[in-house]
């Protein structure tokens, strides 16, 4: 692996070399035979490689009953290997007195939500109260910040845009383009280039027929990335997508990376991709580790970094598994280990801290007694916590810094 630092731009380019069995190395190539580069700005790391080879181990070996080093934390284990371990900052959860005693000690990264629906509730009316609290937490405790999304679907757009109307509010392209650029400029400027990474667009495949696309055309995503790069030349910019509760569908993976390659081919500064990992243990395919590896292999070929941006694991309905929390631990540990096997899989963000505040309780009433996170109702570590911790500690023992 070779690191290239460009002082003028502040960018760190990492040329990833694949190591053969005889120890020789050569730069990875894409389908066209060209070398690919994974861009990691210094604001986000640099993340150190966990293995001298980019070839992942055949299978992770989770050990649900083993005991990690006493007294260690996720943050300490992740910091030692230059890995991002974080959680989404949630309004109701952040007001719980137990939250502040857990978050800064266990996580080194915070996911700061900047949904337009909340940030600009009225045209030209800005409400920074929610993201400012997340920003203050990160600043006080030395956490890296991931922000976003900057562009999302119609339901997450403010009512004043009237995206619920058949004519998308009757905006013309010039008007809406100005609003898009202004929103991206203002949000990024508000945080003074102190955000490590921006989720520029969320779920382009899941909600492809949104009003942004209908009015602005197919090129709106690429332009959003260019606006974000102009507003912050140093932040990592990524495209985020959700997959299935059952695993990481390969056909959707192919479709997603086709879009990423198209965007990068047009000059859009897509540095990374985000993958949502909202998984349901009850219906999860046994092939899910290999499906995730396939996703990571496509990222390597495309030349982008990978962040697991939204992870939680529904443990199954009551009575479905004899030991549902042990099953959940194995899934968390396996996903973490697979990610750590690839040096350019650099972060894991869980979608909340405590089961008490999981979004599944509000969004999916058919899921009985959801307990999808690393901490229980009282913010006490669950088996899943120790699964992630053990994977991080094993990576350190295998050569992480």
**Could you tell me the CATH number of the domain that includes residue 210?**
3.20.20.80
pLDDT at 367 over 50: yes
**b/e string for 228-253 if b means 16 or more Cβ within 10 A?**
bbebbebbbbbbbbbbbbebbbeebb
The percent of residues in the chain predicted with pLDDT above 70, rounded, is 81
Q: What is the mean pLDDT of residues 67-89?
A: 85
Largest interatomic CA distance in the chain = 63
Q: Structure tokens of 233? A: 């030349």
C-alpha Rg value of the chain to the nearest Å: 20
Q: What distance in Å separates the CA atoms of residue 153 and residue 4, rounded to the nearest whole number? A: 37
CB 151 within 8 Å of CB 180: yes
Average pLDDT of every residue of the chain: 85
Q: What is the mean pLDDT of residues 132-149?
A: 96
pLDDT in tens, 235-255: 999 999 999 899 999 999 999
In this structure, is residue 16 part of a structural domain? no
Q: What distance in Å separates the CA atoms of residue 311 and residue 248, rounded to the nearest whole number? A: 13
pLDDT in tens, 166-199: 999 999 999 999 999 999 999 999 998 899 999 9
Which of 67-76, 108-117, 264-273, 289-298 bottoms out in mean pLDDT, i.e. has the lowest? 67-76
pLDDT at 66 over 60: no
Q: What is the mean pLDDT of residues 114-139?
A: 96
- Specify the pLDDT at position 396: 54
Q: Is 385 helix (H, G, I), strand (E, B) or coil?
A: helix
Range of the domain at 133: 46-397
Q: How many CB atoms lie within 10 A of CB 58?
A: 8
| Torsion (CA) 352, 362, 323, 308 in degrees, nearest 10 | -40
Q: What distance in Å separates the CA atoms of residue 386 and residue 73, rounded to the nearest whole number? A: 9
The percent of residues in the chain predicted with pLDDT above 90, rounded, is 78
pLDDT at 24 over 80: no
- Specify the pLDDT at position 56: 39
Kindly report the length of the chain.
Answer: 401
In this structure, is residue 56 part of a structural domain? yes
Higher confidence at residue 169 or residue 32?
169
E strand or H helix at 338: helix 324-340
In this structure, is residue 7 part of a structural domain? no
Q: How many CB atoms lie within 10 A of CB 172?
A: 8
In this structure, is residue 18 part of a structural domain? no
In this structure, is residue 36 part of a structural domain? no
- Specify the pLDDT at position 187: 98
In this structure, is residue 40 part of a structural domain? no
**b/e string for 2-41 if b means 16 or more Cβ within 10 A?**
eeeeeeeeebbebebbeeeeeeebeebeeeeeeebbbbbb
CB-neighbour burial class of residue 69 (10 A; exposed 0-12, middle 13-18, buried 19+): exposed
E-strand spans in 245-393?
Answer: 272-280, 305-314, 345-350
| Number of domains composing the chain | 1
pLDDT band at 30 (very low <50, low <70, confident <90, very high): very low
């Amino acid at each position: 692996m070779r690191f290239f630092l460009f002082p003028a731009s502040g960018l760190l380019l990492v040329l990833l070399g694949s190591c053969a069995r005889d120890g020789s190395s050569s730069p990875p190539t894409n389908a066209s035979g060209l070398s690919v580069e994974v861009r990691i700005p210094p604001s986000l790391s640099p993340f150190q490689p966990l293995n001298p080879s980019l070839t992942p181990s055949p299978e992770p070996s989770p050990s649900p009953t083993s005991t990690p080093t006493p007294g260690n934390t996720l943050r300490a284990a992740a910091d030692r290997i230059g890995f991002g371990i974080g959680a989404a900052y949630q309004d109701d959860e952040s007001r719980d007195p137990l939250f502040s005693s857990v978050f800064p000690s266990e996580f080194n990264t915070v996911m700061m939500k900047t949904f337009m629906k909340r940030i600009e509730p009225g045209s030209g009316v800005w409400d920074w109260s929610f993201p400012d609290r997340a920003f203050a937490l990160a600043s006080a405790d030395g956490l890296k910040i991931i922000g976003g999304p900057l562009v999302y679907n119609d339901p997450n757009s403010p009512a004043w845009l009237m995206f619920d109307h058949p004519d998308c509010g009757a905006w013309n392209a010039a008007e809406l383009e100005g609003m898009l650029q202004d929103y991206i400029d203002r949000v990024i400027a508000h945080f003074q280039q102190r955000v490590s990474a921006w989720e520029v667009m969320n779920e382009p495949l899941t909600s492809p027929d949104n009003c942004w696309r209908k009015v602005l055309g197919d090129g709106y995503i690429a332009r959003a990335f260019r606006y974000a790069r102009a507003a912050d030349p140093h932040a990592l910019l990524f495209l985020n997508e959700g997959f299935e509760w059952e695993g990481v569908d390969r056909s959707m993976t192919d479709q997603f990376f086709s879009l990423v390659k198209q965007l990068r081919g047009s000059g859009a500064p897509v540095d990374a991709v985000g993958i949502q990992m909202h998984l349901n243990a009850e219906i999860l395919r046994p092939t899910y580790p290999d499906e995730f590896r396939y996703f990571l292999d496509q990222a390597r070929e495309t030349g982008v970094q990978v962040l697991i941006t939204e992870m939680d694991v529904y443990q199954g309905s009551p009575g479905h598994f004899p030991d549902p929390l042990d099953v959940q631990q194995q899934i968390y540990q396996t996903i973490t280990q697979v990610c750590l096997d690839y040096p350019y899989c650099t972060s894991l963000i869980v979608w909340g801290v405590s089961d008490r505040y999981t979004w599944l309780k509000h969004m999916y009433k058919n899921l009985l007694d959801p307990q999808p996170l690393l901490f229980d109702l009282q913010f006490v570590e669950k088996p899943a916590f120790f699964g992630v911790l053990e994977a991080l500690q094993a990576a350190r023992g295998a050569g992480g810094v």
